[in-house]
Amino acid sequence: MDGGLIQPPRGRSLGRVSLMEMKWTHLALVLLLFVSMTMTGCFIWQYRLPKREPGSSVREAVVEAEPMCPRYPDPVPLEHPIPVLKEALDKVDKFLRHTVRDPGLPAVSAIVTYNDTVLWTGNFGRRNGSDPTSPAPNEYTVYRIASLSKLFPTLMLYKLWEDGDVASLDDPLGRYVGNFSIRNPLAPGRTPGHRHSGDGMALSEKGAPTARPSPVTLRRMASQLSGLPRRLRSTNLLWKGSTEEALELLRDDVLVADPGTKCHYSNLAFSLLAHVLAEHSAEGNYQRWVSENILDRLAMEDTGFDITPPILSQMAVGVYGSGQVAPLYDLGWYRPSGQMYSTAADMAKLAMVLLGTYHRRLLEADTLKTMLTPLFQCAHSYFANKTGTPWEVNEQFGYDIVRKDGDLDGYSATFSLVPKLRLSFIVLMAGPRPQGEDLVSKTYGLLIPALETAFREAEKQLNPTPNPAPYVGYYTYANLTFYQIRAGPKGVLVMQQFGPHVEQLIPETYRTILLHYLEEHIFQVVFEKEYPCVLQLGSASVSLETQDRQLFHFYPFDSRGLSPGFDAPGLNTYSVMRIQHKPVFYT
């Protein structure tokens, strides 16, 4: 049922009544109070009757603490230092320091950002583990970033799409390279010899086209959903061939999964995507496009492909688990999938760009949202719960942890984001990643609860309305629930519910909300402090969580310059109307 917060009995403000009227009125009040305690409340205060499990009894019931809301507090500006956050970062520093070992992992550099601020940097060990005089690494020490390189073909795809050079993220690969063809023995309803051709049509064994678009799309290639093999047959990651040769090899190869149906890791997909997009838009030079359109634009000065002598002098020396120095080999045609190097400082810039908090821009906000959205739930056998472009996505504390891991001889790295919290954690290592524990999950296990606490304790930054006069006054929903709106000390509107029985049923703290001004006539409901998600009222309960952050849409001003009422469309509540004065209630 639509309607008011706590639905009290209808109030009367008409003066004296007869004894008979009083009896009928009293009966009606009791009846309405009973009805009000079982109906859905206005805005979001909704009642729930407690359920008993079969066979349970009151004596057996376990009383649990009521969870507090908001469950996922919004990020807010923070004034440092924040003790709870500092304590969590100190613990991160301590356990990462203990990951350094000799032999096996001589150098680690890590960085944490929130919004547009670096919260913490940690640099441990020595840049060259075999040299006792070697200095410690810092945030400008260069590491190979292995598969973090796959971020850049993905950024290229989204940038070309945003600029209109790619018509759709879901275009078939064949639209951009005419001679792409590969067999798909797992296609549903396939005919013998079924393969996908370069123009996006399905071909029969005799070459007759059928009207079926190729499902090997650009977005699936960037999200491990293309079904392409991990690498080209008869090649390794040092292969020095061309894209034409790669396409010829694919003509005699098969998809390992029907595209879009299974998460399957493929270096081939990212390298082919990068080279094809470069041929389409950058005269075949992928590295130059990345340098001009991403690295230079974001001032990522210590990130690139070619390990020159000046770069080598900045590098941490990568080793195998045995301590043996790993060779810095060139990945040839597979360079887009794993060749690049970078620093913690440069990767932090990229993280803030993807979170939309950096002062330089690469992609529009809507494009970033699309890029950071998980695409597909992976099977339990895959190493991530979900996949994205180009992300591996797992959940922690109810948040999507969007990450990309990279491992290459002598080096390992992780680039990770928590978009909802505007938080990032990057770790670069000159050796194989520690086994037995996930450094990223352990770090977020400390940081997320601390950051949530900081958000909840921070003073909310609310916008006052430019002119409170049109909104101040008394309102009612169907003469059942009543509200007063007034201007608070800082000009922010304060709304309080009142009326018969409401004061006794609901503590004043939870009958009072703030109205955050968004634009003319539009306000957002905000609770000033943490609140119980569900407020228990005897055998009934009221959901406060539903009301939080809902929008109030006030009506255009009348001839007196006053808003006649408002709607709360997210709560399916309409026609909350202004009344001339505070009503007087008789019992």
Q: What is the mean pLDDT of residues 364-377?
A: 97
User: How far, in Å, are 111, 338, 468, 558, 566 from residue 523 at the CA level?
Assistant: 37, 48, 12, 19, 10
Give CA–CA dist 555/207, Å, rounded. Answer: 64
pLDDT digits (tens, 9 = 90+) for 264-297: 999 999 999 999 999 999 888 999 999 999 999 9
- Least Cα distance to 554 among 579, 512, 519 occurs for 519
- Asked whether 564 and 555 are in contact (CB, 8 A), the reply is yes
Range with the lowest mean pLDDT among 206-220, 254-268, 552-566?
Answer: 206-220
Burial class (CB in 10 A: 0-12, 13-18, 19+), 387: buried
pLDDT digits (tens, 9 = 90+) for 400-445: 999 999 999 999 999 999 999 999 999 999 999 999 889 999 999 9
Helix (H) or strand (E) holding 443: helix 439-457
Largest distance between two CA atoms of the chain: 100
pLDDT digits (tens, 9 = 90+) for 447-492: 999 999 999 989 888 999 999 999 999 999 999 889 999 999 889 9
| Domains and their CATH numbers in the chain | 19-68+462-579 (no CATH), 86-147+294-457 (3.40.710.10), 152-281 (3.40.710.10)
Q: What is the pLDDT of residue 459?
A: 86
AA identity, residue 482: F
Give CA–CA dist 259/196, Å, rounded. Answer: 11
Q: What is the pLDDT of residue 197?
A: 55
Q: What is the mean pLDDT of the chain?
A: 87
Give the three-state DSSP class for 295: helix
Residue 404's φ and ψ, nearest 5 degrees, are -135, 125
* CB neighbour burial string for 422-458, b if at least 16 within 10 angstroms, e if fewer: bbbbbbbbbbbbbeeeebbeebbebbbebbbbbbeee
Q: What is the pLDDT of residue 587?
A: 66
**pLDDT above 60 (res 248):** yes
Distance of CA 224 to the CA centre of its chain: 19
Query: Is the CA virtual torsion 291, 296, 299, 302 positive or negative?
Result: positive
pLDDT band with cut points at 50, 70 and 90 for residue 59: very low
**pLDDT above 90 (res 370):** yes
**pLDDT above 50 (res 39):** no
- Pull the structure tokens for residue 199: 């123009």
- Least Cα distance to 9 among 476, 479, 506, 581 occurs for 479
Cβ contacts of 457-461, under 8 Å, gap ≥ 24: 457/84, 458/76, 458/77, 458/78, 458/79, 460/76, 460/514, 460/526, 460/528, 461/76, 461/77
**pLDDT above 60 (res 61):** no
Query: Is the CA virtual torsion 224, 225, 226, 231 positive or negative?
Result: positive
Range with the lowest mean pLDDT among 9-13, 82-86, 455-459?
Answer: 9-13
Q: What is the pLDDT of residue 80?
A: 84
Helix (H) or strand (E) holding 553: strand 551-554
Give CA–CA dist 485/498, Å, rounded. Answer: 11
**pLDDT above 70 (res 245):** yes
Instruction: Give the predicted TM-score (pTM) of the model.
Output: 0.84
Cis peptide before 434 (omega within 30 of 0): no
pLDDT digits (tens, 9 = 90+) for 105-161: 999 999 999 999 999 999 999 999 999 999 999 999 999 999 999 999 999 999 999
- Asked whether 100 and 124 are in contact (CB, 8 A), the reply is yes
pLDDT digits (tens, 9 = 90+) for 167-224: 999 999 999 998 999 999 988 866 555 555 545 444 444 444 444 545 899 999 999 9
pLDDT digits (tens, 9 = 90+) for 492-541: 999 999 987 787 788 888 899 999 999 999 999 999 888 999 988 778 88
Residue 583's φ and ψ, nearest 5 degrees, are -70, 155
Residue 112's φ and ψ, nearest 5 degrees, are -125, 130
